[in-house]
A = this chain, B = another copy of it.
Amino acid sequence: MSGVGFVEPAAEPHPAVLAGGAALLRPLLEAALAALEDGVARRGGPVPSGEPGELAELVRATLGEALPATGTGAVAALEQLTRLLAYGSADPADPACAAHLHCPPLAVAVAAEMAAAALNPSLDSWDQAPAATALEDEVVRGLAGLVGFDPDRAAGVVTCGGTESNLMGLLLARDAAVRRETGLDPALEGLPVVACRLRVYASEAAHFSVQRNAALLGLGETAVVPVPVDARHRMDPAALERALDTGGGVSMAIVATAGTTDFGSVDPLPEIADLARRHGAWLHVDAAYGGGALFSSRLAGLLDGIAAADSVALDLHKLGWQPVAAGVFLAREAAAMAPLARRVAYLNPADDEAAGYVSLLGRSLRTTRRADVFKIAVTLRALGREGLGRLVDACHDLARHAADRIAAHPRLELAAEPVLTTVVFRYLPTTGDPDRVNAALRRRLLRAGRAVVGRTELGGAEPGGRVRLKLTLLNPHATRADVDALLAAVVAAGVEEDR
């Protein structure tokens, strides 16, 4: 019989191989579940207590050699390392784990991930992923519609995350600008001298991957012109206009952010789109975080204007509750992605494509590519836009509650009203240096295994100190009482450090 997509070594000491079906996978999944429960119970909190070096030592001691000559057998290895991973995780399902855009995944998405892993489709050719190829097209259409693109004109691809999606946007922008300015194809010829004059405009609060990707693309980080932000950490359109007018060079792209990592701020998209159009610059909207607001009827209006973007980054492993990775890159016009197309004899020969065996190879920068689309498809179908919107709203409510509590607390200082689901604040020490105390109290909470709180730094001159704490509230099941307890723990740790 045809298997369900996996082979299995028999028990030690000489692993043989048995093709098998669900009957073979079931006991291994059960072993993993039991080890998960055991590891979580041993942890007993959001993160293991102790110094980081102690945990690393435990990992080394448990593992011995990572690649031993002979194996221990499947069940023993799975149980031992799953218990270790569960114990040694910062667990986003615990309400006291609220540092990053690091969500507790939906159980249905985890189960879907398992199914996709068992079947192991790869989206670089039709004959490695017949159904998944068609499924990705449909999911991209659905998400294109969500951002307001015309699904019949748009195109897109599932990515590793916002960083890869932002890279794709900048790559398409770079090559379009070079072709326009020189008539040359940069994919073939490389960057001509004009590339030294390509400029990318992004706000000071944009994600660091904009700079990083500019370096990767050969533009250099200095090609990115940081545009000042307003008091609410949003790109200032007047400042952008001045920068575009005086920046010199070729205005290659504007990267607007819909949901900054720290404050959740959304740049003024309509004004930026207007400037992009007037200056002939590609508009990429990094909505890796804020894109999730589109699920919520209450918050979707924050992203008005996103449909004018040339390209958009979404991350469903943030406000979409997917296990990593579930990034999405969308282009308003499918034609804009055409330069990514590649013809490869072993993957997408022309006569096969003519016969209907379509390939997504030319949509992605990767070759082998897992079907992350599957868990996304299952989740969208299971919850619908309303169901996801309800989760977004719940997290937004938690953030507003946290902000109220912080504003009301004499020893806490709120940095800004929450926009999406983050709250930036700090503990106000009575005597100690605020930056030192806040950094130290966060590590104290980690060491105690008590809480995982985020931290960041404000930009610009901050005479009173730049370090801030951050709650990124992505657990829609957390309660207000959980948030209160978390803030109480922060204050208690602050008191300990403020001596």
Contacts and interface: CB of A to CB of B under 8 A. Distances in A.
Contacts of A105: 5-7, 117-118, 120
Contact size range, A: 35 or more
A383 B68 CA distance: 8
Say how many copies of this protein the assembly contains.
Answer: 2
A488 interface: no
Interface string A202-216: 000001110010111
A73 to B, nearest CB: 6
B108 A8 contact: yes
Interface stretch (A158-166, A239-247, A264-272, A412-420): A158-166
A44 interface: yes
A190 interface: yes
Given A2-B94, A163-B367, A190-B223, 15 more contacts: A7-B93, A9-B108, A18-B477, A28-B111, A56-B133, A71-B380, A75-B108, A78-B112, A100-B346, A110-B118, A162-B368, A190-B218, A191-B195, A195-B218, A208-B342
A9 B261 CA distance: 26
Given A89-B5, A315-B368, A357-B446, A36 B104 contact: no
A489 interface: no
A20 B171 CA distance: 42
Nearest to A37: B22
Given A52-B357, A346-B262, A138 B63 contact: yes
A402 interface: no
Contacts of A356: 51-53
A473 interface: no
Contact of A384 (B67, B75, B379): B67
A262 B327 CA distance: 31
B77 A378 contact: yes
A284 interface: no
A315 B368 CA distance: 10
A346 B120 contact: no
Interface string A18-60: 1111101110111111111100100111111001110110111
A311 interface: no
A222 B222 CA distance: 26
B93 A386 contact: no
Given A162-B368, A164-B366, A131 B218 contact: no
Contacts of A369: 160-161, 324-325
A190 B186 contact: no
A427 interface: no
Interface stretch (A227-235, A274-282, A403-411, A449-457): A449-457
A104 B216 contact: no
Interface string A475-497: 11100000000000000000000
A66 B36 CA distance: 32
Contact of A71 (B35, B133, B186, B386): B386
Given A114-B29, A367-B163, A74 B391 contact: no
A335 interface: no
Interface string A123-152: 001111111111101110111011000000
Contacts of A218: 174, 186, 190-191, 195, 217-219
